[in-house]
Chains A and B, each alone.
Chain A
Amino acid sequence: MDQKTDAEIVARVLEGDVQAYAQLVDAYKSPIYNLAFRITGSLSDAEDLTQEIFIRAYQKLYQFDRGKKYFTWLYTIGINLIRNHLKKKSKDVLNHTVAPFSTESQRTEKESREGDFLSEDSMKRLDENMQKLPVDLREAIILKFLHDMTFEEVAAITGNSVSAVKMRVYRGLEKLKALMD
């Protein structure tokens, strides 16, 4: 969905057409759900967080600057809610054990751009090691590579400078590679 369409839907919702909001939820539910899932490592948390993120975005919709990109604004809300959620669950997260990939993959689609050449074992190890990264490094890597964003977009969403984001991505890859080897 393009920026103009998003802004038009937001305008309709603000004018009182609440049902129009469903179009925004439909358009962004998948990336938001994946963002929450990959950062928290839990499908049930991702489900709850996705709902919370869209409800919070709805409550703050009047604050949205229609000249800006809706998805950047939505991701910012999402990242903050996910961070708060992880803070609350910090003890659990420290002891978190990732569910076996086979069960997680029951609800995943093979939409890989690289085809199926990567083994399920690689994916499982990646999932597990991703969860071992500090949250700030994890979210930078997820936004950059899983959500295919530019450094500038990641910086706008996380509230960091572009150079700080680059550093986090680099450090994240460095740590992840060490964990994977």
Chain B
Amino acid sequence: MNDKFNEYEDLIKIIQAVPQATPPADITRRVMGRLPEERFRLLSLFKKVSLGFNLIDKSETSISMAACSFYYFITGLFYLIIGIVSVTYMKKISMDFSTINWIGLQPYFAIGTALWLFSLALVLNISGRSGVNAARYGTILYIFFAVINSLLIRYYLHIPYAIIFVIGLAASSAFMGIMLVQAIRKMDWKEAL
């Protein structure tokens, strides 16, 4: 016992002498009677196919670094798919690149964002505490550019209710960024040390 607790020795003895309360005799039966039907096999399989990313929280209060990195990877993958689909579509309709404007660059921005998030996922996983800080600031940068990009689109988008589209785009990008920062905040820092 730490020296500074010595002065409370008597109090500690009283606390340790507190009698144990006995749970009701039928509590096990009541718990067993209330167990919901669970499909553990499917859930265990899901855990296995998460490719060792350890998606599931280790505790109620923190998430693992690998899980956090996985969130970045998944978000990046989302942007990559959008980017590839958009680029393919542009080629199919033989878009004239001489008339390209800010909106025409969006597929490439999406691919760029995907690469940015993939690199943050890597940095987060391999670079310890400085990597975690880099990922946090990198995500804030992502939010900033995503919102600015949405505002710039507004000037090139000549459709009715464009403002609603722009607000939706900015809000969803910012939301994803905030969730990623939140994931870092909830991360188990002991792993990064």
Contacts and interface: CB of A to CB of B under 8 A. Distances in A.
Given A13-B40, A51-B30, A76-B59, A123 B15 contact: no
Contacts of B28: 22, 25-26, 29
A154 interface: no
Nearest to B47: A62
B35 A30 contact: no
B20 A30 contact: yes
B94 interface: no
A169 interface: yes
B11 A65 contact: no
Contacts, number: 143
Interface size band for B: 35 or more
A79 B43 CA distance: 24
Contact of B27 (A16, A29, A166): A29
A19 B16 contact: no
A50 B27 contact: yes
B97 interface: no
A47 interface: yes
B38 A141 contact: no
B6 to A, nearest CB: 11
Interface residues of A, number: 66
B19 interface: yes
B5 A62 contact: no
B27 A180 contact: no
Nearest to B54: A65
Nearest to B28: A25
Interface string A62-74: 1101001000010
Nearest to A155: B190
A150 to B, nearest CB: 11
